Structure 1
Amino acid sequence: MNMIANASAEQAQQDIADEFAFFGDWTERYQYLIDLGKQLPPFPEAYKTEEYRVHGCQSMVWLVPSGDASRMHFEATSDSAIVSGLIALVLRVYSDRSAAEIVATEPTFIQTIGLAKHLSPTRSNGLAAMLVKLKAYAAAQL
């Protein structure tokens, strides 16, 4: 993924909003999400453990933190194509940032691009669960 390492979380959210604005309808947006999910780096099988599993998701999701308070990195994967796309967006906003920025950043992109309205309740709950776990990992570093 082309990520500008020094772009803020807010800038990443703005970039996501701009990208989604290109697509006229949700069929195209879902396809874009699926494509983003396919670009996630390979996820080590060894991390697919109960410890890293995100509960509250209908599909299987794993989220692995590394780094420290100054720069936290996350790896994640899912067995669902759309959820993998959501993971790609979440990682763009939250991975490789300071714990303080992670905790302070509200996921406004979910509302901005209309995801809140277009995800099924189970996917919305799963996305919320993933964000809670990610922020908890960051808060533990503070």
Structure 2
Amino acid sequence: MGFLMATAAFEELADDFEFLEDWEDRYRHVIDLGKAMPPLEDAFKVPATKVDGCASQVWLVPDITDTTFSFRGDSDAMIVRGLIAVLANLYNGLDVKDVLEVDAHAELGRLGLHDHLSAQRSNGVRAMVERIRAVAHAAA
């Protein structure tokens, strides 16, 4: 499996996280990312876009143009909205084939998120990544 460079947006995020040494600041930064993300219209909050395996309600709506992958998402939990924003930074703008090459676990590990997310939240992130990969796989 070839290692794929993260998107420029994710690299910038990783740099921001390096600058924020305190976990509380990182946590707040994730929440701010979620707040900055435009909300998903209610019309998209349907069972087909809902991600199972998350403690909170999560919806992911893929948007694939030609072979460029991106998605929008929303959640009823602020921290999860932030995690969706982090995943958007990681995946949006990639070619659908490249989405499958991303080692999300390793990339998110660079942000130091694993150590501080509850098991439930970690499972939720895993479920979101699996959904993203499945959509990209189907599109590729």
- TM, length-normalised to structure 1: 0.89
The Cα shift of 1:26 comes to: 0.8
Output the CA distance in 2 between the equivalents of 1:62 and 1:104.
Answer: 23
* Aligned alpha-carbon RMSD (Å): 1.4
Output the CA distance in 2 between the equivalents of 1:119 and 1:126.
Answer: 10
- Is the 8 Å Cα contact of residues 68 and 99 (structure 1) preserved in structure 2? no
Q: Pairwise mapping of residues 1-142 of structure 1 onto structure 2 (< 5 A)?
A: 9-68=6-65, 70-107=67-104, 108-142=106-140
Q: Using the aligned pairs only, state the percent identity.
A: 39
Output the CA distance in 2 between the equivalents of 1:23 and 1:116.
Answer: 16
In the TM superposition, structure 1's runs of 4+ consecutive aligned residues that sit over 4 Å from their partners are: none
How many aligned positions are there? Answer: 135
Cα shift readout 1:61-81 (whole Å, capped 9, x = no counterpart)? 000112245112201011111
The Cα shift of 1:10 comes to: 4.5
Output the CA distance in 2 between the equivalents of 1:20 and 1:86.
Answer: 13
Output the CA distance in 1 between the equivalents of 2:22 and 2:6.
Answer: 26
Q: Which runs of 5+ in 1 are unaligned?
A: 1-7
Q: Which runs of 5+ in 2 are unaligned?
A: none
